[in-house]
Structures are given as structure tokens and as C-alpha cells.
């Protein structure tokens, strides 16, 4: 900026400077000023003096004229006497005197005849000169005037001219002085007023121009110049300020530029260092690393990558396409896989490069293995990392071999275990059966003891073997769960019942509490659920010496209620008052073959597998199990099960039974608080009016006070007074008015003494503890409404104690497959049935015509006539009362098909391979079916 500014200023100032240099008058202010002033002064002087001169000349000429007139007049008169006297001499004297007047240049006197009388001076002048005059000379003779001559005079202008010349000199002199004064004054004033400040200004400008130093001009006046100077100074100042500002911003700019430049240099250095570090890092990793851009061209690759792809002396430059690199490595023979079909191999590599999946493994020359992982970067490039996994691969191969070997060994072991378990179980069943039979025969005390020991040992052994078998099944993942509608109460109470004996032997109260809002039936595997519950209950009983074991079932979704199809969450809790588990041993609980400690195993026995199996089963069912325990106080196992609410036919016609006993008043006598609560709750749910007391004495008092009850439920084993004693006392006191009684007992019903005692007491029913709901209901019904027809016994154990009893049911097995026939026949045999077996639908129909069957097990898939067709034919040809309970058998184990079969006329459905428990449940159902048919009066037995 500055140079340009200077240049323009130079350009402006240049002409003036050069004019100064030339020094022309018209080019300086003073010169110009003088050019204006001098002519003016001269002109005005000229005019003034001109006028003055004109005036002077006129008055001089006037005076001369006047002098001439007077001269003529006076001298004429003077001359007249002399002339009259003709005294020429005298005239000559007069004329001479006249000539002494410097103004008179000539004079002459003429007589009356114009003859010259006398003259002086040049007579020619008398005609030529400006100032001439003539006068008639008159003489006075009396009153007459006579002209006697002529007088002529000429005056000269010389004195006039001289005076003019003198005046001119004076005027010139004066004018010169005036001019000089004016010029000097002008110059002085000019210099003082304009020149100096201008010079100062010029100096300042020139100095500013030359040195850039803008000094203010030291000049003050109140005229225009002063204002100019002030304006100039202001301008200078502003210019200075502006320049300062400019300089400042320039400095700032420069500083910033310098800073930026430094920053840039620093960043460049950092980037370069980072780049070199990155390169170092990439080069130094043991993995092969390469980055390709989005066009699959190499951006960077480390030495290892090049080595992997192309061998030791492979060189790849950046920008090489991936396809080229791969095809080169195929050519070089780095990858054995590429040898067979290089094209295809290359194609595959490119595909993997383009759309990377999970890392993959590739064999390399020299029996090396690498894992290649490709990743797409954010910018669409691809990063390839090749890791040498030769060692890992070797180890993994070894591991795999070891694992295969171990698995094979394990499998063999499992198979062996399974076989052995069966091998053991078969004779064991014999031992148990025999010892049971033995205990039924008259024995001496010692013999009974031996027999009991045998039974106990065999039981334990059986449990252990079952555990091991289950465990191996669970471990092998071979355990499959059934999904059938199950009666929850029946299942839960069934489990508790099986543990009841053990509990009563130890004197532990065993109670089972099912919340009223728990659904009646859910879909599930009743066998396995029972197994879970039994494991937990057995455990609880085993580790409890004093107190109680309580199984509680509740639901987290009471709203799901009894709506079939709704999902509910059941919570099962098994609480005991046993020895408890130390906190630091909790984690071992659910582990295989580990009990809380080794001494526990010695003391309590067991394989330690029960809880592991339990946990697995719960998890298989979609639930979770947890445990809480305080040593010395007890343990609580809780597990949850998600279930779908199912609908079960009301086989016992519970509704009718409940209706029959509704509103009854019940007295409960039990010293155990938990039992009281449970019974109370159950009776309330049945819309009965229970009153619970803790001792027989209280009960007697209550009865004595006139309180009326329809039935009394009394526990056998109570302190001070047992059930028998209470009954005796009550009957003694109230006689006929004594309400009917139901006895609860945990004493083994096999005890002959007890059985005899109970029989003597004539109880309406004697129930083992914990009482099953069904049994309890039937017992109440028997006590309260003896006339009510019970459809069938709810307790299978009571009627199906021994297999031989099953001969009562007539079974037909229909299957075209000889193996299935044989298997089915054998299964039925184990259940105590001698089944009729046929191999086709046609045979089945003809057999059904000939004899009456209670149950037909019908294979579905048969040639010629399938199970469904056969079933509908049987139904159509037989009278309604004679139609057997028909169970479909099929290997098509789809849950949905179950509905199909039920819809097409089957009563039930069993999937192959046949499950003994399911088959036996079906047979039970058939039995009930037959009983209800008989009740309705249709059936008659053959």
C-alpha cells in the first residue's frame, strides 16, 4: 500500500517541484501575484498622474494665455504713446524689455500701414507659435480713438515643456518609488502570509515523501492558509493514524501469518511423525496387513503381507489391484488350495475381499495356516489382516482330536452307564419286589430288620441308579420333555405323597400348600415336574432332623387364573428347617458329583446328582432355580416355571362333589400350625367353614361349649392325646351327636397295630399326610354325603397297587409293524396286561366285533386301512356303550397333530416311541372312561 500511496503523491507533487526547478515567473505564486499587481499599480499611477498632468498643463496653458492677453493689452497701451510720438527708440526699448521675459519669444510693432516699426525675436514664430496674439494700438485724441498701429507678441511654450519634463521626471520617480514599495510590500506580505506556510507545507510534504516522516506544519493563522495548514495537519495526523493502524494490522497480519506458518510446520512435522510411526507399527506387527482403497487398489501393505502373498522376494507397489496380487500369489504357489483350480480360487478370494464375512482360515505353502480377516473401512476401502495361526491350528487340531477322543470315550461311557444301569435295575427291581413281599409274611423281629435293611438299601441303590441314568441323559441332551395337560394338584401332591413316608419316619411335618389362584391344570411334563419336586422334597427331608418341610405353590399371574391358553408363571418353594448350607458352599450345590462337603456324603448318602438334575430339568422347562439358606435355620429352594394354562376334563366331577359338601362346618385339630393354615386355606377355597385348633383338649372344650360341626379332621400324632384318644373321648362325651371324623396320619399305614386301631375307631376315612386334595375331597364327601356317587377312585395307587390287577382291562393293540407289535406287547406286559395283538385295521375291526375291548391302541399309519379309518369304522359298527377307549399311536410327534387325531375320533394320543408313564396314564383314563360308561348304564362287562 505504502509504495503506491507514495507514488501517487509524487505524481501530484511532481509538476510543482519541476515548476520550482524551472523558476518561471508565472509559475510561482509571487510571480503570478506580481503579474496581477504591477500592471494594476502602473495603470493606476498612470491614470492618477495623467489626470494630474492634464490638469497641470491646462492650468499652465491658461496662465500663459492670461499672461499673453495682459501682455498684449498693457504693452499695446505702452507702445501707443511712443508710436504716437513716433519715438521709435522708445519702442525699441520697450520691446527689448519685453524680450527679457523668458516667455516671450517674439514681439513686433506695426504702424497703421502695417509697416514694421520694431521687432524682437523670430518674427516667423508670430505666425507659427501656439501662443500668439495681436492687439490694435489705439490712441486717445479727445473723445476719439484712433488706430495707429498693430502690436503682435508670440509667447514660447518652452517653459511649459520644461515644467512638464520636470513633472514627468518627478512622476516617474514617484511612480517608481510607489511601485517598488508596492512590490516590496506585496512580496514581503506574500512571503509572510503565503510563501512561508507554503514552504513549510512543501517541506513537510517533501519530508514525508522522502523520509516518510509526517511532521505537523508549525504555522498558525486565522486566514485560509491557516485553515489549509490546519486541514493539512489534520490530514497528516489522520494519515499518520491510518498508517499506524495500517501498520498495526499489517504487523498483526504478519504475526498471524507467521504463527500459521509455524503451526503448519508443526502439524506437518507431527503428521509426518505419526505417519512414520504408523508405518513402523504396520511394518513391525507380525500379522500381514494391507489396506486397499475402494477401487481395490493397494494403498499400503507391510512386509509380512507381501511375504505372505508373494513369498520372500515379493514386491508390490501401491496402486496394484487386489486381483493382480491374488493371481500373482496363485502363480507363485503360496496357497496350496489355488493349485487345483486357480481361476476359481482367485474368484473366491476376490469375492471374500469384496464382501467380507467372518474371518476364515487358509492353508499356506509349507504347512502353514493363516486366518484372514477382511474389514470394510469407513471410506469403503478394505483392510486385510493375515494372522499366522499355524500354532493355534496345530493346537486346535490336537484339541479337536483330544475332544473327539474324549467325546467318544464319554459316549461309550454313557452307553455303558446306560446299559449297566439297566443291567443293575432289573435285578434290583427283583430285590425290591421280593423284600416287599417278604415283609408281608410273618417274620421274626430279626428277620424283619434284615428285610427292612434290604429294602432300604435297594431303594437307595435304585435312587442312585436313576439319578445316574437321568444325569447321563441330561448330559447327553437326550432328555426330551412331554407337553401334555397335567393336573397340577395331582402332580404336586403325588410328589409330596412319595416323600411322606420318609418324613413321617423322621417325625417331620410335611405340608403341601397350593394357593387357590394356581390354575388346576397346565401344559407340561408331569413326570419330570414330579421328579423335580421329589428331589427337592427328598433333599429337604434328608437334611432336616426336626421341624417341617413345606412345599408352596403360587402364581405370579393370578389373573391368568383358569383361562386355558393364558400364560402363567408358577413359583414352587420348598422350605425346610434343616441344617442349612454355609454360604461359601452354595455355589457347589448345583454342580455334578459335589455335595456340600465330603462328610455330608458319608452322613447323608446320595450321589450329589439330584440337584444337578433338578436344575437342568427346571432350566429345560424354561424356569430358574435358586436357593437361600442360613446354616442351622434351614434352606429354601425356589424355582419358577412358565406354563400355559390347560383345560382338563373334570374327571372326578369335582364340581358336583364340592356342591354336595358346600357350606359344611369343619373342625381341624392339628398341633402343627402350618398344617392348620394349609387345611384352613384349602377348605375355604372349597367354600367350607373351617375352624382350626391346636390341641384335642381345645377341640373338646369347643364341642362341649355347644359349637356344632359337620365333620372333624383330626391329626393322629399329637402331644398328650393322640387321634385315637381324642376320638374315644369325644364319642364318650357326645355319643351319637359326635360328628363323623377323618383321621390324618403320617404313621405308615402298613403298621398292623395302627391299622387295627383305625379300623376299630370307624373313621369316615384315614388319610396319609400330606393329604391329597382328591382324597380329602372324597373323604369329606363320604363323611358328609355318604349317598353321593363317586365316579371313580381318584387314587390310582389304591386300585392299581399290583400289575396283576390290570387283567381286568381288555386291551387290543393294532399295528402293522411286527416290531412295534412286539414292543407294545412287552410294554403292556410290564404293566400287567395280556394284550390282543393284530396287524391290520381289518383284523382290528373283526376282533372288535367278536369281543369287547376296554382300550384299543391304534397305529395310525397302516397300509390298506389306516388307524383313523379303522377307528371310525369301529365306532360306526359298535353300539355306543361298547365302544372302547381308542388311543392313537404315531411316530409323527407333532403337537399340532394331536388335535387332528382327537378331532378324528380318537380318545387319546400317544407318540412313539411309547412312554410307559404316558401309556399307563392313558390306560387310567380308559379305566375311568369305562367306569363312567358303566355308571351311565350303557356298558356291561363280559
Partner 1 sequence: MSDAKIDGSAIERLLGVIGGDRDDLLELLDEFFVVAPDYLRKMQEAALSGDLDNLRIASHSLKSNSRDFGAVDLAGLCQSLEHACKSGAVSDAASQVAAIDAAFAAAKTSLNKLVVGNG
Helix (H, G, I), strand (E, B) or coil at 112: coil
Binding partner 1 (rule: CB under 8 A), the pick from 65, 67, 191, 473 is 473
Q: Which is nearer to partner 1, 841 or 884 (CB)?
A: 841
Site string for partner 1, 846-865 (x = CB under 8 A): ---------------xxx--
In 515-619, which ranges are E strands? 521-524, 548-555, 567-576
Judged by beta carbon, residue 218 or residue 411, the one nearer partner 1 is 411
Instruction: Between 577 and 820, name the residue whose CB sits nearer to partner 1.
Output: 820
Give the range of 121-129, 341-349, 537-545, 827-835 binding partner 1 by CB under 8 A: 827-835
408-437 positions binding partner 1, by CB under 8 A: 411, 414-415, 418-419, 421-423, 425-426, 429
Q: Which residue number, 358 or 863, has a Cβ lying nearer to partner 1?
A: 863
Site string for partner 1, 797-826 (x = CB under 8 A): -------------------xxxxx-xx--x
The pattern of x and - marking residues 886 through 905 that bind partner 1 according to CB under 8 A reads -----x--------------
Nearer to partner 1, 854 or 859 (CB): 859
Query: 644 has which bridge partners?
Result: 567
Q: How many residues bind partner 1 (CB under 8 A)?
A: 35
Q: What phi and psi values does residue 511 have, to the nearest 5 degrees? A: -125, 155
Q: Number of C-alpha atoms within 13 angstroms, CB side, residue 591?
A: 8
What distances in angstroms separate CA 440 from CA 269, 462, 501, 505, one per listed residue? 102, 21, 17, 19
Among 148, 503, 541, 827, binds partner 1 (CB under 8 A): 827
Choose between 421 and 539: whose C-beta lies nearer to partner 1.
421
Nearer to partner 1, 752 or 819 (CB): 819
Least separation in angstroms between residue 398's CB and partner 1 is 24
In sequence order, which residues have a C-beta less than 8 Å from that of residue 494 and are 6 or more positions away?
A: 530, 772
Q: Is the N-terminal amide bond of 857 cis, ω within 30° of 0?
A: no
Select 337 or 410, whichever has its Cβ closest to partner 1: 410
| Complex with partner 1: residue 13 or 823, whichever CB lies closer | 823
The answer to the question of residue 169 lying near partner 1 (CB under 8 A) is no
Backbone angles phi, psi at 139, to 5 degrees: -120, 135
Nearest approach, Cβ of 527 to partner 1 (angstroms)? 13
> Helical H runs in 130-223?
158-190, 196-211
Closest CB 892 distance from partner 1, rounded Å: 8
Whole-angstrom Cα distance, residue 843 to residue 838? 6
What residues contact 727, with CB distance under 8 A and at least 6 apart? 714, 741, 743, 761, 763
172 belongs to the binding site for partner 1 (CB under 8 A): no
What is the nearest approach in angstroms of partner 1 to the Cβ of residue 593? 20
Residue 520, classed as helix, strand or coil, is coil
Helices and strands in the chain, H and E counts:
29, 26
Angle 684-691-505 from CA coordinates, rounded to 5°: 90
Smallest gap from residue 479 Cβ to partner 1 (A):
9
Contact of 348 with 259, CB cutoff 8 Å: no
Q: Given the complex with partner 1, which of 221 and 817 has the nearer CB atom?
A: 817
Nearer to partner 1, 675 or 806 (CB): 806
> Does residue 464 touch partner 1 according to CB under 8 A?
no
Separation of CA 434 from chain center: 71
Pair 868, 904: CB distance under 8 Å: yes
State in angstroms the smallest separation of the CB of 877 from partner 1: 24
Q: Shortest distance, CB of residue 641 to partner 1, whole angstroms?
A: 25
* CB 932 to partner 1: min, Å: 29
Max Cα distance, the chain (Å): 246
Cis omega (within 30 of 0) for bond into 234 = no
193 DSSP 8-state letter: I
Residue 478 makes contact with partner 1 by CB under 8 A: yes
- Nearer to partner 1 (CB atom), residue 528 or residue 928: 528
Exposure b/e, 33-68, CB count within 10 A at least 16 = b: bbeebeeebeeebeeebeeeeeeeeeebeeebeebb
Q: Could you say whether residue 842 binds partner 1 (CB under 8 A)? A: no
- DSSP-assigned states of every residue in 744-774: EE-S-TT-HHHHHHHHHHT-SEEEESSPPHH
- Work out whether 830 is an interface residue with partner 1 (CB under 8 A): yes
Span near partner 1 by CB under 8 A; candidates 55-63, 140-148, 723-731, 913-921: 913-921
Question: Contact residues for partner 1 (CB under 8 A)?
Answer: 411, 414-415, 418-419, 421-423, 425-426, 429, 469, 473, 476, 478, 816-820, 822-823, 826-827, 829-830, 861-863, 891, 912-916
Amino acid at each position: 500500500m505504502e509504495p503506491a500511496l507514495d507514488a501517487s503523491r509524487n505524481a501530484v507533487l511532481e509538476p510543482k517541484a519541476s515548476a520550482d526547478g524551472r523558476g518561471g515567473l508565472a509559475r510561482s505564486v509571487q510571480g503570478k501575484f506580481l503579474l496581477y499587481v504591477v500592471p494594476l499599480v502602473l495603470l493606476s499611477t498612470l491614470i492618477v498622474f495623467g489626470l494630474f498632468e492634464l490638469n497641470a498643463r491646462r492650468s499652465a496653458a491658461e496662465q500663459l494665455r492670461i499672461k499673453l492677453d495682459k501682455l498684449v493689452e498693457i504693452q499695446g497701451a505702452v507702445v501707443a504713446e511712443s508710436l504716437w510720438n513716433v519715438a521709435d527708440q522708445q519702442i525699441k526699448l520697450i520691446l527689448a524689455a519685453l524680450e527679457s521675459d523668458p516667455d516671450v519669444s517674439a514681439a513686433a510693432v506695426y504702424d497703421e500701414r502695417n509697416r514694421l516699426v520694431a521687432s524682437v525675436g523670430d518674427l516667423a514664430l508670430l505666425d507659427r507659435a501656439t501662443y500668439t496674439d495681436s492687439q490694435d494700438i489705439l490712441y486717445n485724441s479727445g473723445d476719439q480713438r484712433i488706430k495707429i498701429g498693430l502690436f503682435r507678441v508670440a509667447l514660447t511654450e518652452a517653459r511649459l515643456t520644461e515644467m512638464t519634463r520636470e513633472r514627468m521626471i518627478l512622476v516617474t520617480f514617484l511612480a517608481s518609488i510607489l511601485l517598488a514599495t508596492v512590490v516590496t510590500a506585496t512580496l514581503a506580505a506574500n512571503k509572510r502570509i503565503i510563501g512561508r506556510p507554503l514552504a513549510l507545507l512543501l517541506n513537510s510534504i517533501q519530508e514525508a515523501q522522502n523520509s516518510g516522516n509526517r511532521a505537523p506544519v508549525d504555522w498558525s493563522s486565522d486566514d485560509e492558509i491557516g485553515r489549509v495548514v490546519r486541514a493539512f495537519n489534520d490530514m497528516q495526523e489522520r494519515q499518520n493514524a491510518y498508517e499506524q493502524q495500517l501498520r498495526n494490522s499489517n504487523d498483526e497480519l504478519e504475526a498471524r501469518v507467521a504463527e500459521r506458518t509455524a503451526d503448519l510446520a508443526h502439524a506437518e512435522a507431527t503428521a509426518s511423525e505419526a505417519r512414520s510411526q504408523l508405518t513402523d507399527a504396520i511394518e513391525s506387527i507380525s500379522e500381514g496387513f494391507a489396506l486397499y482403497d475402494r477401487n481395490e487398489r493397494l494403498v499400503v501393505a507391510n512386509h509380512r503381507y507381501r511375504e505372505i502373498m508373494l513369498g520372500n522376494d515379493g514386491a508390490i507397489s501401491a496402486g496394484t489391484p487386489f486381483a493382480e496380487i491374488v493371481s500373482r500369489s496363485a502363480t507363485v504357489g503360496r496357497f496350496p488350495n489355488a493349485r487345483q483350480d486357480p481361476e476359481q480360487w482367485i474368484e473366491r478370494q476376490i469375492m471374500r475381499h469384496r464382501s467380507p464375512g467372518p474371518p476364515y482360515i487358509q492353508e499356506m505353502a509349507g504347512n502353514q495356516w493363516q486366518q484372514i480377516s477382511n474389514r470394510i473401512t469407513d471410506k469403503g476401502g478394505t483392510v486385510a489382516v493375515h494372522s499366522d495361526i499355524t500354532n493355534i491350528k496345530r493346537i486346535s487340531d490336537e484339541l479337536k482330536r483330544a475332544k473327539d477322543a474324549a467325546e467318544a470315550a464319554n459316549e461309550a461311557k454313557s452307553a455303558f452307564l446306560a446299559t449297566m444301569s439297566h443291567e443293575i435295575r432289573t435285578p434290583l427291581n427283583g430285590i425290591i419286589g421280593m423284600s416287599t413281599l417278604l415283609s408281608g409274611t410273618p417274620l421274626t423281629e430279626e428277620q424283619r430288620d434284615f428285610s427292612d435293611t434290604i429294602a432300604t438299601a435297594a431303594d437307595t441303590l435304585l435312587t442312585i441308579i436313576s439319578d445316574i441314568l437321568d444325569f447321563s441323559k441330561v448330559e447327553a441332551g437326550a432328555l426330551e420333555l412331554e407337553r401334555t395337560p397335567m393336573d397340577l394338584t395331582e402332580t404336586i401332591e403325588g410328589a409330596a405323597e412319595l416323600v411322606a413316608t420318609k418324613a413321617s419316619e423322621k417325625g417331620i411335618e410335611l405340608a403341601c400348600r397350593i394357593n387357590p389362584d394356581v390354575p388346576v391344570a397346565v401344559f407340561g411334563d408331569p413326570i419330570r415336574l414330579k421328579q423335580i419336586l421329589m428331589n427337592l422334597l427328598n433333599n429337604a427331608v434328608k437334611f432336616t432332623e426336626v421341624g417341617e418341610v413345606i412345599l408352596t405353590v403360587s402364581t405370579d399371574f393370578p389373573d391368568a387364573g383358569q383361562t386355558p391358553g393364558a400364560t402363567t408363571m408358577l413359583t414352587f418353594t420348598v422350605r425346610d428347617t434343616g441344617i442349612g448350607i454355609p454360604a461359601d458352599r452354595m455355589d457347589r450345590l448345583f454342580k455334578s458329583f459335589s455335595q456340600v462337603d465330603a462328610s455330608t456324603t458319608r452322613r447323608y448318602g446320595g450321589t450329589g446328582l439330584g440337584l444337578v438334575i433338578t436344575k437342568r430339568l427346571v432350566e429345560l422347562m424354561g424356569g430358574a432355580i435358586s436357593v437361600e439358606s442360613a446354616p442351622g435355620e434351614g434352606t429354601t429352594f425356589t424355582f419358577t416355571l412358565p406354563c400355559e394354562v390347560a383345560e382338563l376334563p373334570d374327571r372326578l366331577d369335582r364340581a358336583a362333589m364340592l356342591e354336595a359338601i358346600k357350606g359344611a362346618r369343619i373342625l381341624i385339630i392339628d398341633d402343627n400350625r402350618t398344617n392348620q393354615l394349609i387345611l384352613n386355606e384349602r377348605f375355604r377355597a372349597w367354600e367350607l367353614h373351617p375352624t382350626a385348633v391346636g390341641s384335642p383338649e381345645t377341640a373338646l372344650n369347643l364341642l362341649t361349649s355347644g359349637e356344632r360341626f359337620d365333620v372333624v379332621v383330626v391329626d393322629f400324632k399329637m402331644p398328650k392325646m393322640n387321634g385315637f384318644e381324642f376320638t374315644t373321648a369325644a364319642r364318650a362325651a357326645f355319643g351319637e351327636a359326635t360328628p363323623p371324623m377323618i383321621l390324618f396320619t403320617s404313621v405308615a399305614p402298613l403298621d398292623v397295630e395302627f391299622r387295627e386301631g383305625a379300623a376299630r375307631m370307624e373313621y369316615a376315612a384315614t388319610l396319609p399326610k400330606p393329604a391329597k386334595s382328591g382324597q380329602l375331597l372324597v373323604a369329606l364327601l363320604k363323611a358328609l354325603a355318604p349317598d353321593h356317587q363317586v365316579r371313580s377312585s381318584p387314587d390310582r395307587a389304591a386300585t392299581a397297587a399290583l400289575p396283576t390287577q390290570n387283567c381286568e382291562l381288555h386291551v387290543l393293540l393294532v399295528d402293522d409293524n411286527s416290531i412295534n407289535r412286539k414292543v407294545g406287547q412287552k410294554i403292556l406286559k410290564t404293566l400287567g396286561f395280556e394284550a390282543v395283538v393284530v396287524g391290520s385295521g381289518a383284523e382290528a375291526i373283526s376282533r372288535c366285533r367278536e369281543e369287547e375291548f376296554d382300550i384299543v391302541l391304534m397305529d395310525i399309519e397302516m397300509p390298506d386301512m389306516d388307524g383313523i379309518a379303522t377307528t371310525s369304522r369301529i365306532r360306526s359298527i359298535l353300539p355306543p356303550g361298547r365302544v372302547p377307549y381308542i388311543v392313537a399311536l404315531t411316530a409323527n410327534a407333532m403337537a399340532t397333530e394331536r388335535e387332528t387325531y382327537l378331532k378324528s375320533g380318537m380318545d387319546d394320543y400317544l407318540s412313539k416311541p411309547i412312554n410307559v408313564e404316558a401309556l399307563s396314564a392313558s390306560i387310567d383314563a380308559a379305566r375311568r372312561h369305562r367306569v363312567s360308561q358303566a355308571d351311565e348304564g350303557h356298558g356291561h362287562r363280559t
